Amino acid sequence: MANVSLNKSTTDRSNAETAELSGVIVDVRTGERSAIASWVEAFTYVWDNPNERLERLLGLLSDDVVLKAPIKPPMSRGKVAARKGFESALRGMPDLRADIHHWSASGNTLFIELTFRATIGGHQVSWHDVDRITFRAGEAVERVAFFDPSVIRGAFFRNFAAFRQFRRMRKPRQRGAS
């Protein structure tokens, strides 16, 4: 697992709020429940090598999850669309990783501060992000990513190699292709 520092803020949480995130679903395929810290630990594990752990990432999310980000498409709905979006990003940025810095939970909401990094057009690029994840009945049903998309856009249009990576993201995955 990645060597990261996970800091949790627990200020001003009522008993009801604490209970809401004490039994979150850490694997929707099995229904396994655990504390929110275990969910964050699994999220951290995934982003250390998302190409190899995409199924685990999808296992953290509800079947009807809504993913929002300041990129195209700005929103996807459902596990099939989530898979396509993650596969597209990983096709264009095969070495994409994230370092989780801090997290805080209250009520049915989890905030995770992280830094993504990838090689785009031969250059290492990184961008800061905060994910707001909403839980309902213990399942992660919505993720809103807050980051400046101009860093990624600029990187993809820096040179021809970067633009080719961008085009790979836009191509649908070929059946039978790895």
Other CB atoms within 10 Å distance of the CB of residue 92: 21
CA distance 133 to 108: 8
Structure confidence at residue 72 (pLDDT):
78
Confidence of residue 15 (pLDDT cuts 50, 70, 90): very low
Q: CA distances (Å), 118 to each of 26, 152, 162, 177, in order?
A: 27, 10, 11, 22
Q: What is the pTM of this model?
A: 0.83
CA distance 47 to 62: 18
Residues 6+ apart with CB under 8 A from 3: none
Structure confidence at residue 3 (pLDDT):
39
CA distance 103 to 105: 7
Structure confidence at residue 10 (pLDDT):
36
CA distance 136 to 40: 16
| Pick from 74, 49, 45, 75: nearest CA to 60 | 45
